[in-house]
Amino acid sequence: MKIAELYVDAQLAGRPEAEAASRRFKVPIQTVGSAQEVYASVAAAKDPIGRGKHVLYLTRNRGAFIKSCPGTHHYTCCGYKILHIGTFCSMDCSYCILQSYFHPPVLQYFLNHDEMDQELEQLFATRAIHRLGTGEFTDSLIWEPWTHLSERLIRKFAGQDGCVLELKTKTAWVDSLLDLPHRRRTILAWSLNTDEVIRTDERGTTSLDARLKAAARGADHGYPLAFHFDPIVIADGCEADYRRTVERLFAAVDPRHIVWISLGALRFMPELKTVIRQRFKHSRIVYGEFIGGLDGKMRYFKPLRMRAYRDIAAAIRAVAPGICIYLCMEDDEVWEHALGFQPAQRGGLSRMLDEAAVRQCHLSSGR
């Protein structure tokens, strides 16, 4: 993070987290009475999205901390729960939906952790299996160098037996996490892509090698791992590039440490196309063969998606035939053609992932 302006909700003035952020980023604290004051500063910039990546607003989460993943009934959803710790991201990926999801986009970090703890304790008390992640509206680990929130969450999840926390990132910020008593209740997860996509469309992220080295270090310290090939960008020669990425993954990490691997093709709301063209003039990702999907998003033609999934899944299974592979937001036809089965044949996607978590993370539940 490179923060140029630091704002704090007036109701939270004097909080130690604000002082820590001010020292970390060497910027003064500006107290504001409402979020609109922050938004106005960002919205006035020539590039509000770029500007928002350097403006940090410390505030309260006025809604629920635990939310269900916003899937759609047209496609198979994994039953994931979002632990809503903050919004937006300091890294800059061309395809990121957060560019058009927040208006204007601002880095927000929530400080009312007492309320978050209450929600978590209520969830833990159900003694049921739940999969939660902090990487839906932000990157899980960009906050770690100055908040240590992930450290706190890892310790908290280690004290119960039914829930698993997934920390998904494109960073290599794992040093402070390695020696924690995690009890395999936290999964360290990375989004992976080809070198070409990382170079052209994932500005400010760590390299593929850095991500894989960080994952290997996590495995050495007993953490279960997950990987997400999402978004898969389909272009000439991409099949060979993704096969090489899979090879590099397994050269770095023993598959016995991996809980699951997801595959998801590039998809985006139509309005994001203009944003990508304006902010990533050298990117070619919006010029693929797209069609409107049932969820309103632009998607590659179904045969292209199925072929890409089938090819990448075959490369994974050649090394790790028993690993849990799943598709993100696809229908039964795509599952059948790409992976050879439909989720319902295995009890549903949620059950598949719950069982993988039980095996790898040693979870138990009262169900």
* SS3 per-residue string spanning 144-184: HHHHCHHHHHHHHHHCCCCEEEEEEECCCCCHHHCCCCCCC
Give the CATH number for residue 323. 3.80.30.30
Residue 275 belongs to a domain:
yes
Residues in the chain: 367
The pLDDT tens digits of the residues spanning 274-329 come to 999 999 998 999 999 999 998 889 999 999 999 999 999 999 999 999 999 999 99
What is the distance between the alpha carbons of residues 246 and 315, in angstroms, rounded to a whole number? 7
Structural tokens at position 274: 């203009």
Residues 6+ apart with CB under 8 A from 70: none
Predicted local confidence at residue 144, as pLDDT: 92
The pLDDT tens digits of the residues spanning 100-153 come to 776 678 999 999 999 999 999 999 999 999 999 999 999 999 999 899 999 999
Residue 22 belongs to a domain:
no
Residue 340 belongs to a domain:
yes
Residue 249 belongs to a domain:
yes
Predicted local confidence at residue 90, as pLDDT: 96
Residue 365 has pLDDT above 80, yes or no: no
Classified as helix, coil or strand, 187 is strand
Predicted local confidence at residue 175, as pLDDT: 96
What is the distance between the alpha carbons of residues 26 and 105, in angstroms, rounded to a whole number? 22
pTM score of the predicted model: 0.96
pLDDT, average across residues 192-202:
96
What does the DSSP assignment read for 190-240?
EEE--HHHHHHHEETPPPHHHHHHHHHHHHHTT--EEEEEEEEPP-TTHHH
Burial class (CB in 10 A: 0-12, 13-18, 19+), 355: middle
Note whether 18 and 5 are within 8 A (CB): no
The whole domain housing 339 covers 65-84+114-361
Give, as one character, the DSSP assignment of residue 312. Answer: H
Residues 6+ apart with CB under 8 A from 307: none
Burial class (CB in 10 A: 0-12, 13-18, 19+), 261: buried
Other beta carbons less than 10 A from residue 27's beta carbon: 15
What does the DSSP assignment read for 133-147?
ES-SSS-TTTTHHHH
Residue 75 has pLDDT above 90, yes or no: no
Residue 99 belongs to a domain:
no
* Best CA proximity match to 111, nearest among 40, 22, 9, 34: 9
What is the distance between the alpha carbons of residues 262 and 243, in angstroms, rounded to a whole number? 15
Predicted local confidence at residue 102, as pLDDT: 67
What is the distance between the alpha carbons of residues 359 and 367, in angstroms, rounded to a whole number? 16
Confidence of residue 77 (pLDDT cuts 50, 70, 90): confident
Residue 125 belongs to a domain:
yes
Residue 305 belongs to a domain:
yes
Predicted local confidence at residue 73, as pLDDT: 61
Structural tokens at position 261: 């691997």
Note whether 212 and 253 are within 8 A (CB): yes
Burial class (CB in 10 A: 0-12, 13-18, 19+), 70: exposed
What is the distance between the alpha carbons of residues 122 and 125, in angstroms, rounded to a whole number? 5
Strand ranges inside the chain, DSSP E: 5-9, 29-32, 55-59, 66-68, 81-83, 86-87, 92-93, 107-110, 130-133, 163-169, 186-192, 202-203, 225-232, 258-265, 267-268, 290-292, 298-300, 325-327
Residue 366 has pLDDT above 60, yes or no: no
In the chain, how many domains are there? 1
Average per-residue pLDDT in the chain?
Answer: 94
Burial class (CB in 10 A: 0-12, 13-18, 19+), 28: exposed
Q: How far is CA 326 from the centre of its chain?
A: 16
The pLDDT tens digits of the residues spanning 227-281 come to 999 999 999 989 999 999 999 999 999 999 999 999 999 999 999 999 999 999 9
Residue 223 belongs to a domain:
yes
* Best CA proximity match to 91, nearest among 207, 206, 230: 206
